[in-house]
Structure 1
Amino acid sequence: MDTGDKVTITVETIVHAPVEKVWEFWTEPKHITKWTFASEDWHAPIAENDVRVGGRFHTRMEAKDGSFGFDFGGVYDEIRINEFISYTLGDGRKVTITFVSQENDTKIIEVFEGEATHSIEQQKAGWQAILENFKRYSELSKEN
């Protein structure tokens, strides 16, 4: 991808849980480690999150067999509790997440700038899989 040729990709889902619970599960490290991976053969053993403008976040994602892993992190640009998050990833790409309260459901819309290593389809599929993992975790969890 050339500089200036930024492609934005959108993934979304509806979580059958109130926005306050969705926000908590999205932002608290004890929950982040339970859903931030695209498939069951991966996990997120470490999550740190300072949810404020200028705050940093870091999540370690690894294959359970130890064959591969990477760090995912960045700095928050804007925070509106229960409504909106924007951040800049370590490589400079921008991400926004919008949380739309719909009675007892929450629509999550995540928009991110693509990177040059993987195809748009691969990136969209990976981010959507993580979002669906979040949905499953949030809907099945008995924690509040």
Structure 2
Amino acid sequence: MTTTTRPAITIESTVQAPVAKVWEYWNQPEHIKQWAFASEDWHAPKSENDLRIGGTFSTTMAAKDGSFSFDFGGEYTDVKEHKLIEYTLGDGRKVSILFSTMGDSTKVVQTFEAEEENPLEMQRDGWQAILNNFTKYTETH
């Protein structure tokens, strides 16, 4: 039996908002649909989230021109309010998000196991772009 160890990629952002707002905007479907995409020619038309251990989530990410879409989802393995979210994606990869209060701002550190289809730099850049969208949306709404 062969075990494949996937490299872990870590991205981060400091959001100029208190952790309660950051947590709400990260987890509420009406907010997720406003930021869960990597570029302006994409959008997230559908999002469902059952934030609890054993709960599942799914967000549809789609090109605005209708040429491509996919569902990003998984199952929660750990949830500590305002501090930690861990989940397993549908393909078995693990993801961890840490939320740290820094005065009036919140540091978000997300670590995910890389997939094998795309270069690591492309994956890091894509996930960072989504996190940057989250930061911008949260700070301006």
Tell me the TM-score normalized by structure 2.
0.98
Question: Residue type of the partner of 2:119?
Answer: S
Give the Cα separation in 2 of the matches to 1:3 and 1:34.
37
1:13 partner amino acid = S
Runs of at least 4 residues of structure 1 off by over 6 A? Answer: none
Give the superposed CA RMSD.
0.8
The aligned residue for residue 49 of structure 1 is 49
For residue 117 of structure 1, give the secondary structure of its aligned residue in structure 2.
coil
Corresponding residue of 2:10: 10
Other-structure match for 1:127: 127
Q: Which residues of structure 1 form unaligned runs of 5+?
A: none
Give 5+ residue unaligned stretches, structure 2.
none
For 2:68 and 2:6, the matched residues in 1 are separated by 27
Counterpart of 2:106, as a letter, is T
Identity of aligned residues (%): 54
Q: Secondary structure at the match of 1:96?
A: strand
SS at match of 2:138: helix
Residue deviations 1:42-78, cap 9 Å, x none?
Answer: 0000000000000000000000000111000000000
